[in-house]
Structure 1
Amino acid sequence: MLVDDTNNILVKFRCHGTPLRCPPVYTSELHYVATYIRRLRQIRKAVVRLLNREPDTLVVIRTPNMQKFDPAYSLFYSNWFCLQIDTVLRGMFKGLNVKFLDAWEMMLAHHLPQDLHPPQPIIKNMIDVILSYICPAGKT
């Protein structure tokens, strides 16, 4: 958790649970997957309240990453689950004044290999996109 009282900023970070791609995964550890849509609904309600109160607030939502697969691994796993999460995420915030940081497309378009945890140049590109929303060119 990060608190900046001077600027009235509170940032909370919560690491995800055991990734589905790390066998064996017990069903008792999958509570974060089962509640994904419910959690998104709550986040959407909070964003709607925020935008009703402060319509000029910039809300940026980051999409899921793609995972790198070698040929043998790709026989049993795919990015299908991440694609489903991305589809649900975009659908949940459709029609709201939010911006998407499209990690999926940024990784797919980059010359570096896909990786669940993107390399530094891709992270830099993501930060540059966020900064372009905050400080657009030509705006004084």
Structure 2
Amino acid sequence: MYSVLLGERLNLRSVGPDSHHIWQNPKTIYSFGLNITTYYRAHGPPLQNPGGPETRPYISDSLDGIRVAGKDTFIIFNIGAHLHKFHPSIFIHRMQGIRDAVLRLLNRFPETRIIYRGLSVLSTPLDWYFYRYDVIVRVIFKDIENFMFLDFWDLTTVVPQNDIHPPAYFTELKSLVLFDYLCS
């Protein structure tokens, strides 16, 4: 969760109810002094965790709900890991809906930057699905202005994983790559 790591690194403040017991609850972390605000939202089903449905909005609904954005706004999302056990047509359908929401957002706020965080290698026979999903995302979002595919595939081949959630040190490494891009 990049917003939490950023918050810890920069001593950002968290607003709203304590949501540590249900990690996918929406989170807002900010610093007025640094002029940084992050909003974390978990993605919708098939994510199965405690908490009500409001803790798992569809990404397209979250994008449609954005009322203020611009050149200093970065939207970072990823969804593929929780859909890898489903037929790729389900993933394609979900990504097309997200693409349509991205296009609506960019129509409202054309300078907003959208980043899709690519998937990681998973040491299972299904890891080729993850690679295939990355290829699908590149095709679906091809030619969209201000869209960037942040590719971690090569980086994750050196860290064997058997869990879709990588170890904390590796998430921090990927965060540093992301933050380097955001700050350049």
TM-score (norm 1): 0.66
Q: Could you list the runs of 5+ residues in structure 1 that have no partner in the other structure?
A: 21-29, 70-76
Q: CA deviation at 1:35?
A: 2.1
Between 1:3-12 and 1:32-41, the stretch displaced more is 3-12
Query: 1:8–1:34: structure 2 CA closer, same or farther, 3 Å change rule?
Result: same
* 1:94 counterpart SS class: coil
Distance in 2 of aligned mates of 1:59 and 1:12 = 15
* 1:81 counterpart SS class: helix
Given candidates 50, 62, 66, the residue that maps to 2:117 is 62
Larger Rg: 1
Distance in 2 of aligned mates of 1:38 and 1:19 = 14
Any residues of structure 2 matched to 1:24-35 within 5 Å, and which? 30=86, 34-35=89-90
Q: Which has the higher contact order (CA 8 A, sep 6+)?
A: 1
Distance in 2 of aligned mates of 1:85 and 1:52 = 26
1:45 aligns with 2:90: no
What is the Cα-based RMSD across aligned positions, in Å? 3.0
Distance in 1 of aligned mates of 2:113 and 2:132 = 25
TM-score (norm 2): 0.52
Query: 1:4–1:34: structure 2 CA closer, same or farther, 3 Å change rule?
Result: same
Q: Does the CA contact (< 8 Å) of 1:44 and 1:92 recur in 2?
A: yes
2:153 matched residue in structure 1: 104
Q: CA deviation at 1:8?
A: 8.3
* 2:116 counterpart SS class: strand
Residue type of the alignment partner of 2:112: T
Between 1:32-41 and 1:57-66, the stretch displaced more is 32-41
Q: Which runs of 4+ in 1 moved over 3 A?
A: 3-11, 16-20
1:80 matched residue in structure 2: 128
Distance in 2 of aligned mates of 1:61 and 1:2 = 19
- How many residue pairs are counted as aligned between the two chains? 117
Given candidates 104, 113, 117, the residue that maps to 2:160 is 113
